[in-house]
Amino acid sequence: MAGLTAARLLADAGQVVSVLDKGRRAGGRMATRAMAGGAFADHGAQFFTVRSEAFSVVVARWLAEGTVRQWCRGFPSDDGHPRFVGADGMAQLAARMTVGLDVRQSVHVDGVRKVGGRWAVTWPATRWASAGLLEADVVVLTPPAPQSAALVAGQATIPELAYAPTISLLVALGDRPSVPFPGGIQLQDDPTWSWIGDNMAKGVSPVPALTLHTRSDVAAARWEQDNDALITDLLRAASPWLGGAEILDTSLQRWRYATPVEPHPQTCLVRAEGGLVFAGDGYGGPRIEGAFLSGRAAAEAVLNRGI
Ligand SMILES: Cc1cc2nc3c(=O)[nH]c(=O)nc-3n(C[C@H](O)[C@H](O)[C@H](O)COP(=O)(O)OP(=O)(O)OC[C@H]3O[C@@H](n4cnc5c(N)ncnc54)[C@H](O)[C@@H]3O)c2cc1C
């Protein structure tokens, strides 16, 4: 969200922009996975809220074009605040944001270095992309802060920001799960889960599929456990919500940097005389809207530099 927001604003202002993303699909923590039986599950962000005027303008446009829609106004009951979702999943919202931009997926950047007055951004060959180099006047870095810090080591330092982890368990089911209306539960006191979402009730999956997010302390304690044992244990903890339905498919996602614990007080950070700008939810706040506001601030910082 931060990177695509910054890129869109910079491109609209006439800058030449390339987005490099290690993911095979755009979206980062806005992510949707296809599962057996035609199921889909959002496995990162589940919905978003709108508090700022700047974000409400963009969301109104997405609503009008059908890219997002309102899911509900609270869990379990109406608290007056709309919860929005990508109409076809969160990844589809990200995909929509890439339209008209030069976005290169599966590019895992391994360094950002100053070479002859410009920035050289490099990446090695992987299974999905060949090695490459891009030169730029300004680099906006929007990975979680520890990953960005590693990319600019020796060029700039940024404050350390801590992130809490989460493990997502996705379960495709043969029948409806036991998740009450509107299909999402935010849990405070459960020993394992912080969130349970019914992707079919949400309108993202045509067939039953659950997303369950662990508490961060459970994720930290279980981080090294192998997938098979972890899925077995987590399925046991999930059983009250599965409604006895047949399990058709399961999938795990470990989010090491799920949520910034204490976001930086600035909405973005500028270093190297404006040549490096750091953005993301670690700066704007631990939500999709925070990432949007940070990406927007990063674009403004680049434009104010007057290149
Ligand atoms: C499980 C979970 C549930 C959540 N639920 C909600 C929710 O319900 N509502 C809400 O508002 N927010 C939620 N969030 C938080 C929300 O997803 C984030 O705040 C937001 O998506 C962060 O956006 P971002 O652009 O800052 O970072 P990211 O989405 O993490 O984007 C960073 C990008 O950097 C790329 N990258 C990283 N390193 C490199 C590299 N070396 N080379 C190239 N590319 C690289 C990644 O591929 C990624 O695309 C949730 C997060 C998680 C993990």
Which is it for the CA torsion 87, 254, 169, 181, positive or negative? negative
Residue to probe by mutation, ligand 1, list 8, 20, 29, most atoms within 8 Å of CB: 29
Instruction: Measure the CA–CA gap between 280 and 294, rounded to whole angstroms.
Output: 6
Q: Is the CB of 103 under 6 A from ligand 1?
A: no
Instruction: Tell me the per-residue pLDDT of 119-168, one tens digit each, with 9 for 90 and over.
Output: 999 999 999 889 999 999 999 999 999 999 999 999 999 999 999 999 99
Instruction: Measure the CA–CA gap between 3 and 22, rounded to whole angstroms.
Output: 12
Instruction: Tell me the per-residue pLDDT of 229-254, one tens digit each, with 9 for 90 and over.
Output: 999 999 999 999 999 999 999 999 99
Class of domain 163-260: alpha beta
Task: Indicate which atom in ligand 1 lies nearest the CA of residue 289.
Answer: 11
199, 41 contact by CB (below 8 A): yes
203, 85 contact by CB (below 8 A): yes
Instruction: Measure the CA–CA gap between 282 and 286, rounded to whole angstroms.
Output: 7
Altogether, the residues listed in the chain come to a count of 307
Q: Is the CB of 2 under 6 A from ligand 1?
A: yes
Instruction: Tell me the per-residue pLDDT of 84-93, one tens digit each, with 9 for 90 and over.
Output: 999 999 999 9
Task: Indicate which atom in ligand 1 lies nearest the CA of residue 147.
Answer: 38
Ligand 1 center from residue 244 Cα (angstroms): 33
Protein residue with least CA distance to atom 14, ligand 1: 45
Interior angle at CA 230, CA 1 and CA 242, nearest 5: 80
Q: Does residue 143 have a cis bond before it (omega within 30 degrees)?
A: no
Q: Is the CB of 44 under 6 A from ligand 1?
A: yes
Instruction: Tell me the per-residue pLDDT of 196-230, one tens digit each, with 9 for 90 and over.
Output: 999 999 999 999 999 999 999 999 999 999 999 99
**pTM of the predicted model, to two decimals?**
0.98
Q: How many CB atoms lie within 10 A of CB 192?
A: 18
Q: Is the CB of 48 under 6 A from ligand 1?
A: yes
Instruction: Measure the CA–CA gap between 188 and 24, rounded to whole angstroms.
Output: 33
Q: Is the CB of 47 under 6 A from ligand 1?
A: yes
